[in-house]
Amino acid sequence: MPSRPSAQRAAKDPTEQQLEDLRAFKLDPRLAMESLVCIEDRDNPGRMIPFKLNPSQDRLHKMWERVRAFRLIRNIEAENYASPWGYLDIPTLQGKLLREKCDTIAEYGVSKAIHELKKSGFPDIHAGPVRIVVGKPRQVGISTYVQARFFTDVMLTENFSVNITAHLNDVSENIFRKTRLAYESWPLGYEALRTEATGFGADRLELTTNSRFVVQTAGSPLGALSFTFGAVHLSESAFYKDYTAVNKMMPAVPKWATVVDESTGNGRAGPFFERWKQAMFIDDVIAAIENEDAIALDSWNGFFKFFIPWFEDPEYTLKLSRFESNHIEKTLDEAERSMRRRFPGRVSTGNLAWRRLRIRQDCQGIPGMDPADFFKQEWPADETEMFQSQGTRVFAQDILEQMEKDAEGYKPSRIVLGRDWLPLRATSNANLHVYQKPKPGELFVIGIDVAKGLKSGDWSVISVFNRTDGTFLDEAARWRGKIDPVDLGDVAATLGEWFNGGFITPELNDQGHSTARRLFELQYPHMYKRKNLDSERDSQAELVWQLGFVTNGPGKYHLIGRHQHRIRSKTIRIRSQVSIHEHAIYENVDKKLKAPEGENDDCVIADALCTWGDECRQAPVIDPVAIRRELKVEQQKASQSEMDRRIWEGIMREQERKDEELEKSLSPWDLDSEEEEQLPSGW
């Protein structure tokens, strides 16, 4: 049998004022937490102090209430209630944007709005589900806030069960110890409002109202599976060694319930990482609804992101004398200068001094991680820093950061180009972004990374770079979509013709053969040809040239190595933010070049193929676009009659003879002035 609480106090009947306060607590979660909850002082263990929200907790609280307001509004719209807002003492919401409605209801009080709507004839109204995934630095009080909020919910609500799941046994034991202290430290002025406990078990607090507060460890046997939890807190879930118990519990959580998945980062894999990737910030969700962006909403998992950078916590700074501040400012390294550029006016000298101290004291000797990278994981400045790779980044991060900053100013034309071959201007569903249109005489290289075209698979990417300068590649366009590999050949040929017969280097792995074959069938004349770099034999009899580049085996190291040098030497400008991101996370793990788990590298490969195509310097075809047009015209004529067919065959033979003569008489790099005039400038 569970034991009785050790500190029972005689219950008294509540006064009228206490009952009035109880009603206020139920309508205002913040008031309830700050009036009824005591927590252990972080700097003085064992000392209980009233809970007051710090800046990080305040931000989470406001975001949490906006999410509840959003859900309340969406639930009312889904039920087609006839304008219930008139029952609330607020300005009319009729005709307001969703963003304005959310802010107004959150400021008014979501619980208060629900209470008044239920009294006015809407008994089934609610503000669920609330699903929040929290990324955070260490020790900013997020777990404390969630547990305090759930604790007051249990104490003030009948038939309400809460589950807290921690990653380690000692952590779950500590959480339960603090829960018991909070119960026993209930303010004396509100003793009459404290629900009586039937007892404390090894992992739970049971109340006479059939409510309970259960704490468990991930991976431990779940004796609480028979309960229906109205609130679930997954604490430090990125560090769970076993997710089985959680997976069994989650399907039983009611659809209206609250789930908070909160953790610091722990690599680019696992359920927490996947949940974060598919979640969205509430402002992005609202924008997607207002813009009717079905694609964004279709990929959303229903969780709202919350993130706070380490430097916004007032505890994470040092007080410095003038000479210490001057020293910090004079000795800024590239990472610190980059942080200042990314967050102008938000990172103080005291923040940087605190960061240096933490790196020296707490970030040394972590296997497989640089101390500065480990600091980013434990105290991230943004959501990308939260998930640090265990491998080595391939491309120069400082150069990519500058590219990312520059990319914010680019305004590409957005176009849909697909199987119907009718380019249309687009917004959210664009698959072709054009940064610079081709001009007569300009030269281009095109790289193709080929995927299977499956909805749930990788992306196919066509990168187009301007190579007219001769020493510099500048991104001109990028097509990124999911399409059949054969149809991808048609898209590539279309872009190749538009960009002045650009030199195409297609990937030749697996389905890449289909794309290369399609380009060959379309008689696209300007493609990269290669001898198999993986061939073990090199006899003249087996010298077979192929179209395209094989991007695995030894060839991949050649490909990425050249592209790595191109970026390091700053002789390429990438404009696509998606591509810059993929380059930034591309890594070498145990001598394997790849994107982190759950990420993509399609743009990296396509861009590297552009680098390869530019540097291989294969001879161009003279006016390839004109040749293709001429051949198409003659081919159409040839289908009219047998005589036309014979004429066509004669034309083809004559064309082949001229090509052979030209090939014999000219070296690609030793053209006389007459032939040079037929080539685009720059070759």
Query: Tokens standing for 670?
Result: 């030793």
What confidence score (pLDDT) does residue 396 get? 83
Q: What is residue 11's predicted lDDT score, i.e. its pLDDT?
A: 56
**Residues 68/304, Cβ–Cβ less than 8 Å:** no
Among 221-230, 239-248, 297-306, the range with the most confident prediction by mean pLDDT is: 297-306
Q: Cβ(614)–Cβ(563) under 8 Å? A: no
Cβ–Cβ < 8 Å for 301, 275: yes
Asked if the model's pLDDT at residue 463 lies above 50, the reply is: yes
Q: Does position 24 have pLDDT exceeding 90, yes or no?
A: yes
Q: From the centroid of its chain, how far is CA 145? A: 26
Q: With beta carbons less than 8 A apart as the criterion, state whether 133 and 279 touch.
A: yes
The pair phi, psi for residue 30, each rounded to 5°, is -65, -45
Residue 491's pLDDT band (cuts 50, 70, 90) = very high
In this prediction, residues 180-193 reach a mean pLDDT of 93
pTM over 0.75: no
- The average pLDDT across 180-194 equals 93
Is the confidence at residue 5, as pLDDT, over 50?
A: no
Residue-wise pLDDT for 250-274, tens only, equals 887 898 999 999 998 887 778 898 8
Quote the pLDDT of residue 443.
92
The amino acid that residue 217 corresponds to is T
- Please say if the pLDDT value at position 370 is more than 50: yes
Q: What is the pLDDT of residue 3?
A: 34
Is a pLDDT exceeding 90 seen at residue 510? no
pLDDT, average across residues 593-599: 80
Contact 477, 533 (CB under 8 A): no
Give CA separation, 83 vs 114, 450, 638, in Å. Answer: 14, 51, 70
Helices (H), 28-109: 29-36, 55-78, 98-108
What was the pLDDT predicted at 358?
A: 94
Poorest-pLDDT segment among 194-203, 337-346, 457-466: 194-203
At 6 the pLDDT is 40
pLDDT attached to residue 79: 79
- In this model, does residue 390 exceed pLDDT 70? no
Question: Based on the number of CB atoms within 10 Å of its own CB, is 371 exposed (0-12), middle (13-18) or buried (19 or more)?
Answer: middle
* pLDDT of 677 strictly over 90: no
Res 535 pLDDT > 70: no
Provide the CA 299 distance to its chain's centre, in angstroms.
11
pLDDT of residue 668: 43
Give me the sign of the Cα torsion angle 396, 402, 408, 409.
negative
For residue range 405-455, list pLDDT tens digits in order.
888 888 888 888 876 655 566 555 678 999 999 999 899 999 999 988 777
pLDDT given at position 654:
74
Residue bearing tokens 């039983």: 252
Please answer whether residues 346 and 312 qualify as being in contact, where contact means their C-beta atoms are separated by less than 8 angstroms. Answer: yes
Alpha-carbon distance of 74 to 63, in angstroms, equals 16
Q: Compute the residue count for the chain.
A: 683
DSSP codes joined into one string, 485-535: HHHHHHHHHHHHHHTTS-EEEEB-STTHHHHHHHHHHTT---B-EEE-TT-
Q: What angle do CA 222, 226, 228 make, to 5 degrees?
A: 110
**Neighbouring residues of 509: CB distance < 8 A, sequence distance ≥ 6:** 450, 550, 551, 552
φ, ψ for residue 38, nearest 5 deg: -115, 140
Q: How confident is the model at residue 610 (pLDDT cuts 50, 70, 90)?
A: very high
* Nearest partner of 103 among 118, 86, 90, judged by Cα: 90
Selected residue with higher pLDDT from 479 and 268: 479
pLDDT surpassing 70 at residue 82: no
> At CB < 8 A and 24+ separation, what contacts does 649-652 make?
none
pLDDT reading at 620 higher than 50: no
Look up residue 36 and give its amino acid: L
Distance in angstroms (rounded) separating the CA atoms of residues 344 and 321: 22
DSSP string, 261-295: EEE---SS-SHHHHHHHH-B-HHHHHHHHHTT-HH
Tokens of 642: 């047998």
Mean pLDDT for the chain overall: 84
Give the pLDDT band (50/70/90) at residue 10.
Answer: very low
Helices in 574-641 by DSSP H: which ranges? 577-585, 602-616, 624-638
Sign, CA torsion 369/599/168/135? positive
For the chain, report the end-to-end CA distance as a whole number of angstroms.
Answer: 88
pLDDT grade, residue 36 (50/70/90)? very high
Are residues 519 and 525 in contact, defined by beta-carbon separation less than 8 angstroms?
no
Q: Report the distance separating Cα 576 and Cα 463, nearest Å.
A: 10
pLDDT at 682 over 60: no
Query: H or E segment at 134?
Result: strand 130-135
Please tell me the predicted confidence (pLDDT) of residue 626: 52
- Tokens 């409002």, residue located: 193
Taking the CA atoms of the chain, what radius of gyration do you get in angstroms? 32
Q: In whole angstroms, give the CA distance from residue 195 to residue 134.
A: 30
Worst-scoring range by mean pLDDT, 52-61, 157-166, 506-515? 506-515
Q: Locate 591 and state its tokens.
A: 């001598």
pLDDT in tens, 140-167: 999 999 999 999 999 999 999 999 999 9
Three-class DSSP category at 574: coil
Reply yes or no on whether the pLDDT at 659 is more than 80.
no
Task: Calculate the CA 396 to chain-centre distance.
Answer: 21
Nearest residue to 193 (alpha-carbon basis) of 65, 39, 51, 31: 31
Is residue 30 pLDDT above 50, yes or no?
yes
Which is more confidently placed, 6 or 580?
Answer: 580
